[in-house]
Amino acid sequence: MRSRDYGPDVLARSGRVRPAAPPSVEAVPGLVVEDAATGFCGAVIEVEAGGVVLEDRHGRRRAFPLAAGAFLLDGRTVTLTRPVRSAPAAPARTASGSVAVPGQPARVARASRIYVEGLHDAALVERVWGDDLRVEGVVVESLDGVDDLPALVAAFQPGPRRRLGVLVDHLVAGSKESRIAASVTSPYVLVTGHPYVDIWQAVKPSSVGIAAWPQVPRGQPWKEGVCRALGVAEPADMWRRVLGSVRSYTDVEAGLLGAVERLIDFVTVPAGDVDDEHGAKHGAEYGEGHDRGHESGRA
């Protein structure tokens, strides 16, 4: 029986190769292309919905649809596409989370001041709020101890244009610090504080790289007790580690954030914005607002 020749295998793949799709190119203003169908050559002027406007060297303009493979770029067939709009860049932030003001010089220092209880407190405040304080012209100074607060207030002579803010360590109800703070009654003085035994504790343990701050028995020096528990030889070494772990307000506990933010807001209020007869909220502030997180009205 003779076999029949049916020609090429109908199930075999075709030997023809489908041409590759032309590359896509964004139709950015100024891009020079040629319309493949008409030969019109010009620069992209604008991109409309589904089309592009070209302008040739004589100033003539024509609109063309954004069809696949409809244009030539340097002799190559391309598909023009609408430019992708990039999202606006987020504004730069200071370490405190406020919007940064690049290039703005430090303001001449105000008469108003903020006092804190020691060099470590001052260094931590500078680390987080330094940029804000320079823009606002607020100087931070150190107290030798909260016991000197009444004398400091008397010597400072606060007034509507000369406000005083004070940050107190371990400002909790019933403490010696709270009693001293409550004795300050000037409407132009605001005393705030944080609930931590030492300013070190205001830095989150996770930022420092520890599970929690060690519990130090009452009556023992707190810093030395922490160093012993963590196996650190000197408090100075531990402090460098603590301060170096702070990069922004996210490394600091809310209790300190709220206290410092209130002080900055208080000492930067223009004198005319406050009823001088009644003054502003003053006296000791503790036990409230410690969980309010980071707020800044100065951005």
Asked if pLDDT for residue 15 goes beyond 60, the answer is no
Distance CA(292)–CA(255), nearest Å, equals 8
Please check whether residues 63 and 194 belong to one and the same domain: no
Long-range contacts, 247-252 (Cβ 8 Å, 24+) = 247/95, 248/93, 248/95, 248/96, 248/97, 248/128, 249/95, 249/96, 249/97, 249/128, 249/294, 250/294, 251/203, 251/204, 251/207, 252/124, 252/128, 252/202, 252/203, 252/204
DSSP secondary structure letter of residue 226: H
Where does a domain end: 37, 60, 81?
81
Residues 46 and 177 in one domain: no
Query: 37: domain CATH number?
Result: 2.30.30
Per-residue pLDDT, 293 = 36
Is the pTM value of this prediction over 0.85?
no
State the total domains in the chain: 2
Which is more confidently placed, 156 or 50? 156
Question: Does the residue 64 lie in any domain?
Answer: yes
What mean pLDDT comes out for the span 64-74? 93
Q: Is 60 a domain residue?
A: yes
Q: Which of 81, 98, 123 is the last residue of a domain?
A: 81
Look at residue 257 in the predicted model and tell me its pLDDT.
95
Q: Are 66 and 75 in contact (CB under 8 A)?
A: no
Beta-ladder partners of 203? 252
- Torsion sign (Cα): 174, 176, 181, 184: positive
DSSP structure class, residue 89: P
Q: Is residue 9 over pLDDT 80? A: no
**Residue 208 lies inside a defined structural domain of this protein:** no
Mean local confidence (pLDDT), 218-237: 95
pLDDT at 59: 87
Give the mean pLDDT of 258-271: 91
Q: Where does residue 17 rank: exposed (0-12), middle (13-18), buried (19+ CB within 10 A)?
A: exposed
Give how far Cα 155 sits from Cα of 186, 190, 280, Å. 13, 16, 20
In a domain, 97, yes or no: no
Nearest CA to 230 among 255, 247, 205, 202?
A: 205
In this structure, are 125 and 69 located in the same domain?
no
**Rounded CA gap, 159 and 186, in Å?**
9
Residues 190, 255, single domain; the answer is yes
Q: What CATH number should be reported for the domain holding residue 182?
A: 3.40.50
Res 277: pLDDT: 39
Q: What is the mean pLDDT of the segment spanning 153-169?
A: 95
Token digits of residue 252: 């600091």
* Boundaries of domain holding 152: 113-203+246-285
pLDDT for 73-116, tens place per residue? Answer: 988 999 999 888 766 666 777 777 776 766 666 677 889 999 99
> What would the pLDDT profile of 192-207 be if each residue is shown by its tens digit?
999 999 999 999 999 9
Comparing CA positions, the residue from 166, 192, 149 lying closest to residue 288 is 192
Q: Are 126 and 119 in contact (CB under 8 A)?
A: no
* CA dist., res. 137 & res. 132, Å (int): 8
Q: Which two tokens stand for residue 195?
A: 């609930």
Cβ distance 255 to 194 under 8 Å? Answer: yes
- Residue 89: per-residue pLDDT: 65
Asked if residue 190 lies in contact with residue 202, where contact means CB atoms within 8 angstroms, the answer is no
Question: Do 126 and 37 belong to one domain?
Answer: no
From CA 114, how far away is CA 141, in angstroms rounded?
6
